[in-house]
Amino acid sequence: MALNWKEELEGARRARQEGNEGRARVCARRAAGAVAQDFLRRRGVVLRTTSAYEALQILEQWPALAPHLRQAAARLILRVDESFRLPAEIDLIEQAEILIRGLMQDDSD
């Protein structure tokens, strides 16, 4: 895995503490995307790019994935509004943690 998801997730938490929510979202997406890319590669999926976004899009549609994990992937690829915000109830760091845990648990079964 080229991108260190643990460092990205820690970067997301640090950015949030510093009040930089935009950076927190980017790091959370990259952390989840890195794990998603690895998960998909191990299942024989050939990714066209190294984009975390592409991997998360594929997972959102992955039929064998648990619904709550597909939902986390969908939330991670939501676009911000004109004010650069997501709906208040969506915490991308939390969604990244849910997806990462779920993908890693799936691999250990």
Task: Give residue 48's domain range.
Answer: 5-108
Give pLDDT, residue 107.
Answer: 67
| 59-100 confidence digits (pLDDT tens) | 999 999 999 999 999 999 887 777 767 677 789 999 999 999
Q: pTM of the entire structure?
A: 0.88
Number of independent structural domains in the chain: 1
Q: What is the CATH number of the domain that holds 38?
A: 1.20.120
Distance of alpha carbon 93 from alpha carbon 72, whole angstroms: 10
Residue type, 11: G
At 6 the three-state DSSP class reads helix
What integer best gives the mean pLDDT of the chain?
90
Angstrom CA distances, 97 to 55, 74, 82, stand at 16, 14, 26
